Amino acid sequence: MIGQPAGWYDPRMAAQGEAMAVVIHGADGRMGRRLMALAHEDAGLRLAGAVDRAGSAAVGRDAGELAGVGSVGVAVTDRLAPEGAVVIDFSVPSATPGVAEACVAGGSPLVVGTTGLDDAAERALAAAAERVPVCVASNFSLVVNVLHALAAQAAKALGDGFDIELLEAHHRFKRDAPSGTALALARTVCEASGRSFDHDVRLARHGDDVPREPNEVTVQTLRIGDHPGEHTIYFAGLGERLELKHVSTSRDSYAVGALRAAKWLAGRPAGRYAVAEALGLCEGSA
Partners of 23 in the β-ladder: 49, 87
Please report how many Cα atoms fall inside a 13 Å half-sphere around the Cα of residue 116, on the Cβ side. Answer: 12
Name the CA radius of gyration of the chain, rounded: 20
Would you mind telling me the total number of residues written for the chain in this entry? 286
Task: Check if the beta carbon of residue 262 is closer than 8 Å to that of residue 47.
Answer: no
Cα 266 to Cα 14, 69, 250: the distances in Å are 12, 25, 26
Cα 106 to Cα 87: distance, rounded to the nearest angstrom: 10
Cα 91 to Cα 106: distance, rounded to the nearest angstrom: 19
Which residues are catalytically annotated? 170, 174
Cα 228 to Cα 249: distance, rounded to the nearest angstrom: 6
Q: Which residues touch 281 (CB under 8 Å, ≥6 apart)?
A: 142, 145, 146, 149
Residue whose C-alpha is closest to residue 173's, from 27, 31, 25, 24: 31
